[in-house]
Chains A and B, each alone.
Chain A
C-alpha cells in the first residue's frame, strides 16, 4: 500500500480502516489499479518519477461523510486532496498537488437538489456534471439554460471553483461569478454555509449572493480552505431566439477600433453571447469553429496566401493586407451572438451594425437566425456550448487527422489575462512570440488571438503539448515557467494553472513583497492548523511543509 509522506504506515492503516467504516469499504481505494484512475491524464510529468500520485482515494456520498473523513484525516495527519469529478484536464486533472495525498472523490455526491425555473437558479452537489444538469433540465422540460465549457463532462461546482468559464452571456459564462451560495466542510470538519445560507431557515440562499458581513465565497475557489459540498448557480432563462453574426474588417489597424466597439457593445449588454475574434487573413479561426475545422479540415488557402503567412511580423505586412483587400479576405472577423426575443436581437444587431459602420470597409453577415429551443438532433450544426448544450466534440481538436497527423498526449494550458485592447493583443504577441522563440516553445509561432471569456479582459488559452518524450516535456515545463515570468514582468498573470506551475504563477502576484501570498498563508494556518487539506494547492502550503516546498 502507498503511504502519504510523513505519515507512518500504522497511522495510515488506521486512517484507512476508519475511512472504510465511514463510507463503506467498497468506496475506499488503495490498489495500484484503482489509484491509477486518479492520475492526471495530461500530466506534464508523463512517465517521470515526479508525477503526482495519490496514496488512496475515498468516495463519500454525503456531506456528513465528508465531515467525518476530514475529522479522521486530522486525527492521523493524513493529507487530503478533494476533487469533484477531476476533469480539469490541462490544469491538473484528478491528481493531487502534493504527491501522496488521499483523494477525496466527490463524484458520488451527485444530487441535483433544486432547479428553480421561476427564478432561474439551481443548487447542486459537486458530483453533478454539466451533462447531469442538462439532462435533468431536459427531462423536466424546464426553460433554463446551463452555461457549460468545452467539454461538458466536468463538474458544475468543480469548474466554478477552479474559476472556469463557458460560452453563453457574460454574466452566466463566468462560472464563479454566476454562483450564489456555498456549503463548505472546513478543515476542522465543521459545516459552513455562505451568503443567505448562514440563516438557519434561509429562503433566499440562491437568490441573494452576499448575505451580510464579509463575503468570503472567493476564498474557497482555487484554494485549500474547505471542501465545497453544495453550491448554488444562477441559470440563464431560455431565450426565444439566437442570432449569430459576423463583422469583417479589412485593415490591420482596425483591430483597435474593433475591440473598443466590442467593449462598448458588450459592457452595455447590446451583444449578449460569447464574442469570438478571428483573423481569416492570418489563418486564425474563431474558437467556435475550431471543432468544425478539426472534423472537416481547415479552409484551403492559396499558395500566395500561404507564402504571405510565412512572411509577416506580428501578423502584419502591407502585402498581406493588400492581398486581403484584393481577395475579400478579412483581416479581422468578429463573431457575435445575441439571445432574446427575435425583435430584440434584431434590434441589437441593427445597433451593432450602426456602431461598426463607423469603421471604413466593415462588412456584416448573419450566420444563424434561430428560433429556440432548437431541435436537439440539429445541435451538431452549432458550437453546442454557445446554446447551453454540453458536448464532447471539442476532443476532435486533439484528434489525429490528415491535417493534424501527430497529436499530443495531452496539454498544459498557458492562459494569461491581458487588457482588452487591440494594442494589448499586439504587444502580448510581440512579447510572448519573442520569448517563445528564444525558449523554442511551440506557442505564439503565428499571430495569436485571445479569447473573450471574461467581460473586461482578454485571455489567451494556448495548449503546450505533453509528448511521449520526457526530455521534451521537461524543456516545455521550464519554458512554460519562463513564459509565466515574462508575462509577470509585463503585468500579466495566469488566471488558472496546473499544480506544477502554481508556485511560479503565484510568485507573479508579488505586490508589496508577496502580501497576497502571506495573507493566504495566514488564513491557511488559522483555518487548517494541521495542514491536512489539499497542501500546495495554488502554492498555499501548510506551515509544516512551507519551508520544504519554497
Chain B
C-alpha cells in the first residue's frame, strides 16, 4: 500500500469531521496543502450485480458508508458527490460497471482527482488489483476477498 492508498484507507474519522464542519473557501484546504490526508468517503456498488452487492455489504460490515446505484450515477453526483467534493477531495471506491466508473472518473477530474487503482475484472491479472481495492476499503483485512465478475471494475478514485 503506497502513501496515497494509506491516506485514503486510513483517515476516515478525521475527514468525516472535516467535511461536516468545513466551509467553502476560495482556495480549498486540499490545494493549499493544509488539509489532512483525504480519506475514503464512500464505497459505491451496483445493486444489479451479485458480486457488487456482496462487495457493498462487505464494505458496510467494516464500517464504510456505502451507496448502491443502478448503473447511472446522476443522482449520486447531483445529490452527494458534487457537494462533498466541493468541500473535500475525499476518495471513493467501488465495484461497478466500466461506464459508471468512467463517469465518476471524469467528474472527479473537476477536483483534480484520479483513479489510483482500476481492475477490470475481465482482464487477466485483475485479481491482484481487485485485492488492492479490497485492502484499501478494509474488506480484505476482514477476511473477505472480492468475487470477480467480468462485467465489473474495482476501483479507487482519490486525490
Q: For chain B, what secondary structure do more than half of its interface residues adopt (helix, strand, loop), or is it mixed? A: helix
A87 and B106 contact, CB distance less than 8 A: yes
B112 and A391 contact, CB distance less than 8 A: no
Residues of B close to A153: CB separation below 8 A: 77, 103, 106-107
B109 and A37 contact, CB distance less than 8 A: yes
Query: Interface size of A by Cβ–Cβ distance < 8 Å?
Result: 32
The distance from the CB of B125 to the nearest CB of chain A, in whole angstroms, is: 16
Does residue B97 face the partner (Cβ distance < 8 Å to A)?
yes
A85 and B110 contact, CB distance less than 8 A: yes
Residues of A close to B100: CB separation below 8 A: 395
- Closest A residue to B32 using CB positions: A26
- Closest A residue to B28 using CB positions: A26
Interchain residue pairs A-B with the least CB separation, the first 4: A26-B31, A399-B99, A392-B74, A395-B99
Q: Give the residue among A34, A135, A392, A396 with the most B Cβ atoms within 10 A.
A: A392
Does residue B145 face the partner (Cβ distance < 8 Å to A)?
no
The distance from the CB of B86 to the nearest CB of chain A, in whole angstroms, is: 10
Bound CA span A41–B27, Å? 27
Does residue A400 face the partner (Cβ distance < 8 Å to B)?
yes
B31 and A37 contact, CB distance less than 8 A: no
Q: For chain A, what secondary structure do more than half of its interface residues adopt (helix, strand, loop), or is it mixed? A: loop
Does residue A33 face the partner (Cβ distance < 8 Å to B)?
yes
B114 and A407 contact, CB distance less than 8 A: no
Residues of A close to B127: CB separation below 8 A: none
Residues of B that sit less than 8 Å from A by CB: 26-27, 31-33, 71-74, 77-78, 82, 97-100, 102-103, 106-107, 109-110, 112, 114, 151
Does residue A24 face the partner (Cβ distance < 8 Å to B)?
yes
Does residue A29 face the partner (Cβ distance < 8 Å to B)?
yes
For A53-72 the 0/1 string (1 means CB < 8 A from B) is 00000000100000000000
Residues of A close to B110: CB separation below 8 A: 85, 107
- Closest B residue to A393 using CB positions: B72
Residues of A close to B82: CB separation below 8 A: 131, 135
The distance from the CB of B134 to the nearest CB of chain A, in whole angstroms, is: 22
Besides A153-B106, A391-B72, 6 other A-B contacts (C-beta < 8 A): A26-B27, A26-B33, A86-B109, A135-B78, A152-B74, A390-B74
Bound CA span A390–B103, Å? 14
Does residue A295 face the partner (Cβ distance < 8 Å to B)?
yes
For A374-403 the 0/1 string (1 means CB < 8 A from B) is 000000100000000011110110111000
- Closest B residue to A38 using CB positions: B109
B74 and A393 contact, CB distance less than 8 A: yes
The distance from the CB of B61 to the nearest CB of chain A, in whole angstroms, is: 28
A407 and B98 contact, CB distance less than 8 A: yes
Bound CA span A26–B34, Å? 12
Residues of B close to A400: CB separation below 8 A: 97-99, 151
Residues of A close to B151: CB separation below 8 A: 400
Known: A24-B27, A131-B82, A153-B107. A395 touches B114 (CB 8 A): no
B109 and A396 contact, CB distance less than 8 A: no
Bound CA span A400–B151, Å? 7
Known: A37-B112, A131-B78. A395 touches B27 (CB 8 A): no
Known: A37-B112, A37-B114, A107-B110. A395 touches B102 (CB 8 A): yes
B112 and A29 contact, CB distance less than 8 A: yes
Bound CA span A29–B31, Å? 11
Q: Give the residue among A41, A85, A391, A395 with the most B Cβ atoms within 10 A.
A: A395
Does residue A190 face the partner (Cβ distance < 8 Å to B)?
no
Bound CA span A277–B34, Å? 55
Bound CA span A393–B82, Å? 17
Residues of B close to A41: CB separation below 8 A: 102, 106
For A145-182 the 0/1 string (1 means CB < 8 A from B) is 00000011100000000000000000000000000000
Residues of A close to B31: CB separation below 8 A: 26-27
Bound CA span A426–B26, Å? 55
Bound CA span A41–B101, Å? 13
Does residue A260 face the partner (Cβ distance < 8 Å to B)?
no
The distance from the CB of A154 to the nearest CB of chain B, in whole angstroms, is: 10
Bound CA span A33–B26, Å? 24
- Closest A residue to B107 using CB positions: A153
Residues of A close to B106: CB separation below 8 A: 41, 87, 153
The distance from the CB of A224 to the nearest CB of chain B, in whole angstroms, is: 23
A131 and B77 contact, CB distance less than 8 A: yes
Bound CA span A381–B32, Å? 43
Bound CA span A205–B71, Å? 42
Bound CA span A34–B82, Å? 20
Bound CA span A152–B31, Å? 27
B99 and A396 contact, CB distance less than 8 A: yes
Does residue A48 face the partner (Cβ distance < 8 Å to B)?
no
- Closest B residue to A384 using CB positions: B74
Residues of A close to B71: CB separation below 8 A: 295, 393, 396, 399
Residues of A close to B102: CB separation below 8 A: 41, 395
The distance from the CB of A150 to the nearest CB of chain B, in whole angstroms, is: 11
